[in-house]
Amino acid sequence: MTDAKPTLDRTDAIQVGLIADSHSRKRGAVDLPQRVLDALAGVDLILHLGDMGVAASLDRLAEVAPVLALRGAHAVGEHAKLVAGTRRIQCGVHAIGAVFNLAGCAPTVRVDPSLELDDEKSPAEIASAFGGPVAVVAHAMTHRPLVERRCDMLFVNPGSPTLPAEGEGTIAILDLSGPMPQARIETV
């Protein structure tokens, strides 16, 4: 488990686009497909959960909506919106805990190929990693999309829009408009 404090952000975002593992390699992120940007149109915030490849992908995503990002293992270059470690994003009454490698900050959690956690120990580990309880745990690294509610938290992995573990590329859209956050996977 990490001892580093999360980066704290506040926003009024209601619709949050989640993207991860895009692995752009070309200058200006021109290899990030337009269909990904189109799928994110209309969100209030884009959260890139890591492994974007070239940091310029964040500029490309910012053409659609404001962006926050995590470094992951494969990020090339620096960017003002890019941090290592974890983020806690307060969106009104809902808190999102964002991390690239969930198992790295909560050792009782396993995420690949499916979500497994210790119903007694994992919530405390997750709260510790994000500086308090969160309604949503947004994570990446597996290239597999996942939306699952466990232990009063919504776990969301958007998969990968460009290098999916199987099937078509995906992103996720998080809806924070109601009393309980909802998420859906979008094929891109």
pLDDT category, 85, cuts 50, 70, 90?
confident
Q: What is the mean pLDDT of residues 60-80?
A: 83
Q: Is the pLDDT of residue 77 over 70?
A: no
pLDDT surpasses 70 at 2: no
Query: Residue 154: inside a domain, yes or no?
Result: yes
Burial class (CB in 10 A: 0-12, 13-18, 19+), 73: exposed
Is residue 56 domain-resident?
yes
Query: What's residue 129's pLDDT?
Result: 95
Is 89 inside a domain boundary?
yes
Q: What's the pLDDT at 139? A: 97
Residue 89 corresponds to which tokens in the numbers above? Answer: 């994003």
* Residue at 105 is within a domain: yes
Within a domain: 1:
no
Residues of the domain holding 156: 7-187
How many domains does the chain divide into?
A: 1
- pLDDT tens, 22-45? 998 887 777 889 999 999 999 999
Distances (CA, A) of 115 to 45, 77, 96, 137: 26, 31, 18, 12
Tell me the one-letter amino acid at 138. A
CATH code: domain of residue 177: 3.60.21.10
Return the number of other C-beta atoms located less than 10 Å from residue 115's C-beta. 18
Average pLDDT over residues 69-74: 82
At residue 113 the predicted structure's pLDDT band, cuts being 50, 70 and 90, is confident
pLDDT tens-digit map of 125-163: 999 999 999 999 999 999 999 999 999 999 999 999 999
pLDDT score at 29: 74
- 138 lies in some domain: yes
Is the model more confident about 76 or about 100?
Answer: 100
pLDDT-derived band at 178 (thresholds 50, 70, 90) equals: very high
Confidence of residue 80 (pLDDT cuts 50, 70, 90): low
Residue 68 lies in a domain: yes
